[in-house]
């Protein structure tokens, strides 16, 4: 297990969080007569009513014994979408420990004399996926409290703690905020805020790294309004590392705002920190990316919340950047050669095969944003069983409101669901734990995907494809009707 430097970074647990994998369990035959006796529709009837097309794979097991109760194509490996994040959370717990915290530091290469650092100042990222503008503002204030008003050398930003990833999934449209860059230095989930307002003289635009308290303007992202209707956005990277965007005038209306992805997260964090430092009386030169291993003495440090808290938020909000940082940090802690996101995802696949017996596991990222990842419902359920009902993963999953037979939310349902959802265009998944009214817990995974329909989409169509929302609605209806059936038939 690789050690992490810095007092704020907890060591990995000495004992694995994973119980030993269970052996294969026979699947009992379930008669339609028994199902009908409990007024539960058959799985075939539910699938036919959903009218999804494509492939469907599911499995449900007694969460305590691992006994498979019902399944369809359980060994078929399908894209798990954001259900991948449940695997990533366990991977992170196992490699880093749930008390692990990510540090962000300010280091200097010389002494402080006359208010100035006699040398360089470095903003050093150690992978915190939750670093925000308010946190940087607090670090700037702490720097001022150290008596610093400037530097004689340069202002460096370092994100090399983790491999640089330009975009999580290159197949996504350039402007979607859920596929940003990833590095060891991340800010505001690596998204920049674009706002436009209309006036008599045209439009006013602003690009900033805002928070509830601050709105620092950034220089590394620029927006130009162009007289056209489509495409809505275009992106290109300038030679100076500036994210240059254009937006169609015809799409702006009277005003609005959205978050756009950042492709140079280290420079983004440097821009914001430079502006915040100036507010606190610390004048810094423009940030420069640091190549190679940073050298210096840390004088300010910000610590993230624990991995337990971060993972719970990740599973609730399904933040892709958080998943990629946790996954790559876990691979690094395990001593893997993590030269890219793909290499780290392959390391997680190997870990799941070796430790959890998941032979179908084949991941290309840690978030599930790519549709190239694969896992079977059977292997997903096996992991859920091995992590145990009421165990670490179960405690971190979000509560999902059950749906009635019409697909409407049913907050008064007698059963509970703690699970992870996953959604891509024409891919939908749900996996987790369902607790029946009598307290019996079931582990389940439902994967659906119409890959032919998804593959037919152009890159521009992937943000809001025609028919995509209706298809997802039908898939979610099926997932919940299967759970309704299972808690009725197998709840006791």
pLDDT tens-place string over residues 82-127: 999 999 999 999 999 999 999 999 999 999 999 999 999 999 999 9
**In 424-467, alpha helices (H):** 451-455
Same structural domain, 259 and 366:
no
Residue 452 lies in a domain: yes
Same structural domain, 405 and 312:
yes
Task: State pLDDT tens for residues 152-184.
Answer: 999 999 999 999 999 999 999 999 999 999 999
Tell how strand 116-117 and strand 101-108 pair up: unpaired
Same structural domain, 115 and 208:
yes
How far apart (Å, rounded) are the C-alpha atoms in residues 205 and 162? 33
Same structural domain, 273 and 156:
yes
Determine if residue 415 is left, alpha or beta; phi over 0 gives left, psi from -120 to 50 gives alpha, anything else beta.
beta
Query: Domain boundary at 260, 289, 304, which?
Result: 304
Residue 25 lies in a domain: no
Mean pLDDT to the nearest integer, 299-322: 98
pLDDT interval class at 274 (50, 70, 90): very high
Given a cut of 70, whether residue 8 has pLDDT beyond it is no
Would you state the pLDDT for residue 132? 98
Given a cut of 50, whether residue 13 has pLDDT beyond it is no
Residue 193 lies in a domain: yes
Rg (CA), the chain: 25
Same structural domain, 378 and 457:
yes
Residue 21 lies in a domain: no
Given a cut of 90, whether residue 189 has pLDDT beyond it is yes
Q: How many domains does the chain have?
A: 2
Q: Looking at 211-215, 328-332, 366-370, which range is the least confident one?
A: 211-215
Query: 469 versus 239: which is more confidently predicted?
Result: 469
Structural domain of 410 = 32-98+307-490
pLDDT interval class at 129 (50, 70, 90): very high
Query: Domain boundary at 261, 288, 304, which?
Result: 304
Mean pLDDT to the nearest integer, 395-417: 96
How far does the chain reach from its first CA to its final CA, in angstroms? 43
Would you state the pLDDT for residue 105? 98
Mean pLDDT to the nearest integer, 193-204: 93
Mean pLDDT to the nearest integer, 264-285: 97
Query: Domain boundary at 269, 304, 339, which?
Result: 304
Residue 290 lies in a domain: yes
Would you state the pLDDT for residue 327? 98
Mean pLDDT to the nearest integer, 252-256: 94
How far apart (Å, rounded) are the C-alpha atoms in residues 63 and 444? 9
pLDDT interval class at 38 (50, 70, 90): low
Residue 325 lies in a domain: yes
Would you state the pLDDT for residue 219? 95
Peptide bond connecting 231 to the previous residue in cis, omega within 30 degrees of 0: yes
Average pLDDT over the chain, rounded to whole? Answer: 91
Would you state the pLDDT for residue 18? 42
Task: State pLDDT tens for residues 457-472.
Answer: 988 888 889 999 999 9
Tokens at 311, concatenated: 């993972």
Using the structure block, give the residue that is written with the tokens 């705002």: 257
Residues comprising the chain, all counted? 492
Same structural domain, 40 and 78:
yes
Residue 373 lies in a domain: yes
Same structural domain, 120 and 265:
yes
Mean pLDDT to the nearest integer, 418-428: 97
Beta bridge partners of residue 81, listed in sequence order: none
Same structural domain, 47 and 165:
no
Q: Looking at 33-37, 90-94, 228-232, 301-305, which range is the least confident one?
A: 33-37
Same structural domain, 169 and 86:
no
Same structural domain, 393 and 429:
yes
CATH of the domain at 450: 3.40.710.10
């Amino acid at each position: 297990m690789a050690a992490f430097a810095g007092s704020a970074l907890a060591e990995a647990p000495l004992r694995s969080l994973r119980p030993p994998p269970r052996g294969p369990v026979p699947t009992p035959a379930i008669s339609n007569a028994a199902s009908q006796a409990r007024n539960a529709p058959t799985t075939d009837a539910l699938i036919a009513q959903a009218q999804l097309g494509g492939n469907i794979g599911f499995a449900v097991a007694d969460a305590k014994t691992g006994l498979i109760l019902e399944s369809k194509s359980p060994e078929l490996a399908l894209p798990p979408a954001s259900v991948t994040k449940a695997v990533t959370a366990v991977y992170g717990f196992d490699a880093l420990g749930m008390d692990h915290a990510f540090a962000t530091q300010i280091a200097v290469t010389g002494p402080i004399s006359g208010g100035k650092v006699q040398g360089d100042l470095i903003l050093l990222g150690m992978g915190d996926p939750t670093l925000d503008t308010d946190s940087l503002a607090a670090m700037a204030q702490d720097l001022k409290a150290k008596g610093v008003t400037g530097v004689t050398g340069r202002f460096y930003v370092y994100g090399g703690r983790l491999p640089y990833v330009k975009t999580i999934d290159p197949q996504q449209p350039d402007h979607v905020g859920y596929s940003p860059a990833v590095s060891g230095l991340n800010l505001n989930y690596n998204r920049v805020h674009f706002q436009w307002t209309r006036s008599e003289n045209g439009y006013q635009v602003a690009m900033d790294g805002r928070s509830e308290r601050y709105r620092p303007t950034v220089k590394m992202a620029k927006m130009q309004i162009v007289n056209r209707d489509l495409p809505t956005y275009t992106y290109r990277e300038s030679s100076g590392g500036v994210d240059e965007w254009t937006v169609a005038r015809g799409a702006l209306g009277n005003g609005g705002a959205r978050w756009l992805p950042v492709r140079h997260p280290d420079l983004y964090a440097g821009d914001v920190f430079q502006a915040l430092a100036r507010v606190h009386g610390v004048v810094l030169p423009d940030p420069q990316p640091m190549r190679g291993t940073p050298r210096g003495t840390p004088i300010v440090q910000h610590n993230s919340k624990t991995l337990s808290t971060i993972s719970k938020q990740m599973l609730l909000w399904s933040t892709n950047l958080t998943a990629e940082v946790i996954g790559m940090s876990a691979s690094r802690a395990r001593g893997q050669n993590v030269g890219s996101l793909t290499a780290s995802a392959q390391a997680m696949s190997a870990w799941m095969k070796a430790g959890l017996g998941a032979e179908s596991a084949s991941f290309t990222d840690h978030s599930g944003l790519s549709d190239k990842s694969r896992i079977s419902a059977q292997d997903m359920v096996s992991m859920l069983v091995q992590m145990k009902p009421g165990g670490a993963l179960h405690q971190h999953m979000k509560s999902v409101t059950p749906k009635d037979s019409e697909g409407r939310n049913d907050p008064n349902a007698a059963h509970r669901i703690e699970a992870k959802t996953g959604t891509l265009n024409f891919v939908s998944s749900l996996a987790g734990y369902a607790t029946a009214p009598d307290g019996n817990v079931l582990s389940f995974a439902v994967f659906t995907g119409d890959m032919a329909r998804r593959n037919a989409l152009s890159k521009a169509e992937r943000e809001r494809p025609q028919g995509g929302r209706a298809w997802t609605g039908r898939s979610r209806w099926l997932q919940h009707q299967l759970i309704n059936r299972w808690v009725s038939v197998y709840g006791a």
